[in-house]
Amino acid sequence: MIIEPAQLLREHGIYVTAQRLAVLDTVGAQPHATADDVLHGVREQIGTISRQSVYDTLNTLSDLGLLRRIQPSGSAARYETRAGDNHHHVVCRDCGHVGDVDCALGARPCLTASDTHGFDIDEAEVVYWGRCPTCREHAATTSSATTTHTPTGEP
């Protein structure tokens, strides 16, 4: 039995609003969406939402753990509905495309640091950097490595 998004919000003690539901839905439909992607996705869904609300909502939901925020170097923050699993990401150096990678190690934190400097560690975030098939192809055929593959789109 699937939990209703509205119920999910109530269970976390926050008001149920059209904006929040739409943000949740949009991120679910488009994993690794940026705030801007969400803005457009939500507008398609419920007609209008302010940019500020998108940020507010994204922050609120991330803080509650309903969304997970990832922020690869050189890209705006991206969001995903997290299944609670502890997966990681592959990021393309050229186009910024992000993909999911299951964690082979299991539960979080899935790695244990050797010397923790006295830190109390609760999460190990892994990002695999490389080149996606599309960009690799481009690099092979084109001599100029200027890839214009949109960083935002999912395949």
Partner DNA sequence: TCAAGATTTGTACTTATTCCATTTCTCTGG
Partner DNA sequence: CCAGAGAAATGGAATAAGTACAAATCTTGA
Q: Which residues of this protein are in contact with DNA, per CB under 7 A?
A: 10, 14-20, 34-36, 48-53, 55-57, 59-60, 71, 76-77
Site for a second copy in 47-66 (CB under 8 A): none
Residue 67, helix vs strand vs coil: strand
SS (H, E, C) 104-117: CCCCCCCCCCCCCC
Nearer to DNA, 63 or 85 (CB): 63
Structure tokens at 67: 């969304």
Site for a second copy in 27-46 (CB under 8 A): none
| 23-31, long-range: CB < 8 A, 24+ apart | 23/54, 23/57, 23/58, 23/61, 24/61, 24/66, 24/67, 24/81, 27/67, 27/79, 27/80, 27/81, 28/81, 30/154, 31/80, 31/81, 31/100, 31/154
Pick the piece of the chain touching a second copy (CB under 8 A) from 7-15, 34-42, 132-140, 142-150: 132-140
Residue 68, helix vs strand vs coil: strand
Distance in Å, CB of 57 to DNA, minimum: 5
Nearer to DNA, 16 or 113 (CB): 16
Bridging pattern class, strands 33-34 and 78-81: antiparallel
Nearer to a second copy, 114 or 141 (CB): 114
Q: Which does 117 bind (CB under 5 to 8 A by kind): a second copy, DNA, none?
A: a second copy
Interface residue with a second copy, options 84, 120, 140, 143 (CB under 8 A): 120
Residues of this chain that interact with a second copy (CB under 8 A) are 69-71, 73-74, 77, 88, 90, 92, 99, 101-102, 104, 109, 111, 113-133, 136
